[in-house]
A and B are shown apart, each in its own frame.
Chain A
């Protein structure tokens, strides 16, 4: 089955530690995205990548880093510089530039709930 997987579903870390969240897709999508969701709020874009080896900052990139070495994978690292990292993190993907369309539908993974103790 094609889809987006995120692991782990729940993650606990001590304050000051870096942590990496995994996102893998087998939809052959070019574009991938990371969003953060806080209680009672909509999603906010952290980083996005339209193609391998390229990525762009979103609206709240401070304290986060990403890499895009493979088309299928877009890991997100939450660094110790992120002041309030406890949140629900969602990864998404879309066809991207290869589709020829200006905007594509984004499909989401199941999310990772990060709690910093």
Chain B
């Protein structure tokens, strides 16, 4: 069963628009961790954020913000005032009670100048 669903396959925006990436997860554990990674065209995955299931505080870091809602099992990610350098594939991932990550299929974001 798919543990992490990223329903949006591709999103294309014009520079300076905001873009929100959806992530829905499935777990029976009460303790779990959620992650967002960015994969630019070079291929390397870059860690963006990690949240544990007990911390539902939303977070803002520069132009990035995250909205974690346990009630809807969602961990959405917003890029404000997008830039061309934000063009990448973004992955949401879930880790339960071991060291393994379950990844969503990714959302390709294209920011046009």
* One of B14-22, B40-48, B63-71, B78-86 at the interface: B40-48
Bound CA–CA A45/B3 (angstroms): 14
Whether B44 pairs with A111 at a CB distance below 8 angstroms is yes
Are B104 and A104 within 8 A (Cβ)?
A: no
- Do residues B100 and A42 form an inter-chain contact, with CB atoms below 8 A? no
- Is the beta-carbon distance between A103 and B103 smaller than 8 angstroms? no
Given the complex, which residues of B lie within 8 Å of A96, measured CB to CB? 99
A108 touches B44 (CB 8 A): yes
Asked whether, in the complex, the Cβ of A102 is within 8 Å of the Cβ of B97, the reply is: yes
User: Roughly how many angstroms separate A109 CA and B37 CA in the complex, as a whole number?
Assistant: 13
B42 touches A110 (CB 8 A): yes
- In the complex, given contacts A92-B45, A110-B44, what are 17 additional A-B residue pairs having Cβ atoms less than 8 angstroms apart? A40-B106, A41-B105, A42-B91, A42-B105, A43-B91, A44-B103, A50-B99, A58-B100, A90-B43, A90-B44, A90-B45, A103-B33, A103-B52, A104-B99, A105-B35, A105-B47, A105-B50
